[in-house]
Amino acid sequence: MNAAQKTQDSAKYMATENSAKAQTKKQRRADTREYLQLGSLAMAVGIIVGLASIAFRGLLSLTHNFFFLGEVSFRYDAYQHEFFAYGWLVFLIPAIGGLIVGLIIKYGASEVKGHGVPEVMYAVMKNKGRIKAKVGIIKAFASAITIGSGGSAGREGPMVQIGASGGSAIGQFLGLSDEKLRTLVGCGAAAGIAATFNAPIAGVVFALELILLEFKTKSFVPLIVSSVSATVISHLFIGEELAYPIYGIAEIYILRSPYELLLYLLLGLLAGVLALFFIKFFYRIEEFFQSIKIQDFVKPMIGGLLVGAIGLVTFDVFGHYFIFGTGYGSIMPALLSENVSGDLMYVGGKLALFMLLLMFLKMLATSLTLGSGGSGGLFAPSLWIGGMMGAGFGVFVNLAFPGIAAPFGAYALVGMAAFFAGTSRAVLTSIIILFEMTSTYEIILPLMFACVVATAVSKVMSRGTLYTHGMEMMGIRYSNDREVNVLETTEVSALMTRNVEVVTENMTLGEVINRILATGHRGFPCISADGRLCGIITSSDIEAAVRNNLDRQSRVCTLIKLCQPETAYPDEYLQDVLERMAEMDYGYIPVVERSDSSKLVGIITRKDIIQVYQMRSKDKKDKEDYWK
């Protein structure tokens, strides 16, 4: 090689290197812009949701004071439920609130009915993160009236939906991609939890566990930015010590003995079983109200009337409404107060039975409030129910094992997290949120142990959760697992071929053979003269006809499977269809309308199912490229 050639090759090499470096710099600048864009939007979502949380608290205070005290005031004190100016007429207050909420839902947005989180999960899973902007605003008013008038519900679920709708509205306005839009929805949900619970870490984990269903290091960035921003806003307006009612508990609970873990094991088992009971009970109540043949807007009023009756009875018997509203006002006196026995006038076994009774009454009140169509969250009621369960259990074990058992307040705290873990299967969120709410690390071992046990029991005994059971009832399959079987969550309609090659029953054998040779297909749906599906004809049918020396002028109608052919529906999941394909050894299945099994709308083949995995792989690669 001469000197000139070497110089030329060196110049080409340098040009290639410079081009590669320029391309790398260009890609880094693009990635930096992406990070800054999404980070800035996440901060904006966090600030907006933080302010919305403050506004929602004020709206809740206003409605509570108006309904129970007849005052126009933003000062909120849950203990004021102990006073009502009109005595026994208090039972009408939740009914009035329910009627107002029913009308808001009817003329505003049906999406605000219920507890909010499933609607956000549905939007991310089935609607690419798109939520109507008005949903958040209407949800705030409907939930504030439900809770403020005494309905048994929490404010966390509404804040998740309010935050998610805010993030979705911003993303849709800016025309962001589906992936970025879903991320902003997750940011809004995380900010809603963070601002409400003063728990920024739990907000992030909640969004990852239940909304986005992914654990990637780089996915934390926008979620953390949004969660921190919302928490800062919350602190600025209401202060850290007021963010949650059990913040800064006086007594630090510790694990007194390694043997005490056996008691927490029993608590976790109990929490898992009760969580399953509550899930089934809640949706049975909801199904009951759905079956009542009256106007939907009246149903929340009926639920509110029943809740009001329960509250009136508890006040007459115990001197406190207990089950009204979020229940925060009764968590401290009933579970964590140092003078709880004197405050409640019960000791020993009677105290435990009293707490377990309140637990079941809260289950009933919450199911009636939200199952009838009210608007609110299930997060706070789940903590309240779990707290009462844990406290009652703690009283019993203190009576039985006074030497090793911690104060029953410790079991109340662990019970809160364990019961929520059992109902939601968001085990990390359950652990972290109690840790952040109490700032008590000493209880972390029993907390982790009981939450894991409760989650395992719930998962073994039931497929659905408090958030996903309703989706399952609508035929929408959902999985909390990080690696979801894509065939179990993809509908036939997403991949079926709509322009179907067909043969008619009047075609000849020779014509069908020519069609197979021309298209390469191994079979066709066969339709009648009026376009109705009447059977299928496969290559094996043709081969059998040729072996039997059937005349090539014979009509298809003599060959097709005249019995009802195996078909699929557009809203079926590919996993179910694939199992039938394997069982029948079919390479394709016609797709028909569910309401009319003779109307052909498409065809699904093994090739289509393989394409699902190709699409999934491409989606994963796009996500990885997005975060490079």
Rounded CA separation 468/119 (Å) = 10
Whether residue 341 contacts residue 333, with contact meaning beta carbons closer than 8 Å, is answered with no
> What 3-state class would DSSP assign to 527?
strand
Q: How many CB atoms lie within 10 A of CB 198?
A: 23
Helices (H), 174-259: 178-197, 200-206, 220-238
Whether residue 196 contacts residue 159, with contact meaning beta carbons closer than 8 Å, is answered with yes
**Domains (ranges, CATH) in the chain?**
26-242 (1.10.3080.10), 260-300+316-485 (1.10.3080.10), 488-615 (3.10.580.10)
> What 3-state class would DSSP assign to 401?
coil
Rounded CA separation 151/308 (Å) = 8
**What pLDDT score was predicted for residue 89?**
81
538 phi/psi in degrees, rounded to 5: -115, 165
Amino acid in the structure at residue 189:
A
- Mean pLDDT by runs of 10 across the 628 residues of the chain is 58 57 65 78 92 90 84 65 66 91 87 81 81 86 90 87 90 84 90 85 87 71 91 79 49 72 93 94 91 90 92 82 77 52 59 87 93 88 90 88 82 91 89 79 85 91 79 64 60 81 79 77 78 77 74 68 69 80 78 83 79 60 44
> What 3-state class would DSSP assign to 504?
strand
Whether residue 371 contacts residue 289, with contact meaning beta carbons closer than 8 Å, is answered with yes
pLDDT in tens, 343-394: 455 667 788 888 888 899 999 999 999 999 888 888 889 988 998 899 889 8
**What pLDDT score was predicted for residue 482?**
47
Provide Rg for the chain, Cα atoms. Answer: 30
**What pLDDT score was predicted for residue 624?**
44
534 phi/psi in degrees, rounded to 5: -120, -5
Whether residue 49 contacts residue 166, with contact meaning beta carbons closer than 8 Å, is answered with yes
Both ends of the chain: CA-CA distance in Å?
Answer: 41
575 phi/psi in degrees, rounded to 5: -60, -45
Rounded CA separation 514/230 (Å) = 67
Residue position matching structure tokens 């409400």: 196
**C-alpha dist (Å) from residue 131 to 119, 158, 175, 623:** 9, 14, 14, 22
3-state SS record for 384-423: HHHHHHHHHHHHHHHHHCCCCCCCHHHHHHHHHHHHHHHH
Whether residue 380 contacts residue 154, with contact meaning beta carbons closer than 8 Å, is answered with yes
- Bridge-based pairing of strands 503-504 and 588-593 is unpaired
Rounded CA separation 113/104 (Å) = 10
pLDDT in tens, 252-301: 567 777 888 899 999 999 999 999 999 999 999 998 998 888 988 899 99
